[in-house]
Amino acid sequence: MTAQLIDGNALARQIRAEVAGRTQALKARGVEPALAIILVGDDPASQVYVKHKVNDSSETGLTAKLERYGADLAEAELLERIDALNKDPSVHGILVQLPLPKHMDSHKVIEAISPAKDVDGFHVASAGALMVGQPGFWPCTPHGCLRMLDSIGYELRGRHAVVIGRSNIVGKPMAMMLLGRSATVTICHSATADLGAMTRQADVIVAAVGRQNLVTADMVKPGAVVIDVGMNRNAEGKLCGDVDFDGVKEVAGWITPVPGGVGPMTRAMLLVNTIEAAERATA
């Protein structure tokens, strides 16, 4: 068996085309959908991420306003800027690129963003909405993973999913979304005793730890769907995920690549959240 590939690049292109159509519809009403992206410091990976986000936004017709600040920016100044963006009706979404410099409290900064403009889906109000099934903004990475499962017509009801990674950004929201689709969910982490015993029972494995080759072929049930959220660099400096792709693809039924899998879908769902924020604000 060789797994079928879930092509995140191709699916993200389809989603960007959908967003472009919704953007044009708003512009026809005189609304210019706009996303404010704040980058503090000079983290190399963050600079690459925001570049992609700006380019993706431009492709759909959304306005992406990138604001760069030095790593010595005071937390109070950042909070003041966020407050101004919250009050600016021309800005529909606000994204603060993480990680922030060590002298800043990331939780405090995220909570300063208006829930109506929290297009990253990190605000506690967004988490609460997800928990009780109310409208809100879903975190982009888990949302992108669900869209990938939808793209292959995968029915989650009654399936067993194992999520490896307990973070508030991916792990916990991913588990809640899977539960919302009536799946049985087990949350694990890299230190779980006999992790393979858990994953071999899973119909769906979501790996989101940040450890190369965490999931190997002997840990995967034949025919399972494997979604790799990990972002690592191998010995040659090439981007890779948490899954031993070459080995696991010979066992799994479906698998996402790294790069070209979850990454572009995460950015695509940011655009979806932004256009929804604009539509809600101008309804």
Domain 30-114 belongs to what topology?
Answer: Rossmann fold (3.40.50)
Q: Average pLDDT for consecutive 10-residue bins of the chain (283 residues)?
A: 94 98 98 98 92 96 97 98 98 97 96 97 86 83 96 98 88 92 94 95 96 97 97 91 97 97 97 97 91
The predicted pLDDT at position 87 comes to: 98
Put residue 69 in one of left, alpha, beta given phi > 0 → left and psi -120 to 50 → alpha.
Answer: beta
Nearest to 270 by CA among 99, 125, 141, 123: 141
The predicted pLDDT at position 265 comes to: 97
Residue 257: cis peptide before it, omega within 30 degrees of 0: no
List 53, 172, 221, 249, catalytic entry: 53
Instruction: For the chain, state the CA radius of gyration.
Output: 19
The superfamily (CATH) of domain 140-263 is NAD(P)-binding Rossmann-like Domain (3.40.50.720)
Given this chain, do its domains 30-114 and 140-263 carry the same CATH topology? Answer: yes
Q: Tell me the pairing of strands 239-240 and 232-233.
A: antiparallel
Catalytic residue list contains 97 = yes
The predicted pLDDT at position 169 comes to: 77
Each domain of the chain, given as residue ranges in start order, spans: 30-114, 140-263
List 56, 118, 120, 203, catalytic entry: 120
Q: Tell me the pairing of strands 160-164 and 93-96.
A: unpaired
Q: What are the beta bridge partners of residue 96?
A: 38
The predicted pLDDT at position 283 comes to: 86
List 56, 97, 172, 221, catalytic entry: 97
- pTM, two decimals, is 0.94
Task: State both tokens at 122.
Answer: 């990190």
Catalytic residue list contains 120 = yes
The predicted pLDDT at position 128 comes to: 83
The predicted pLDDT at position 1 comes to: 66
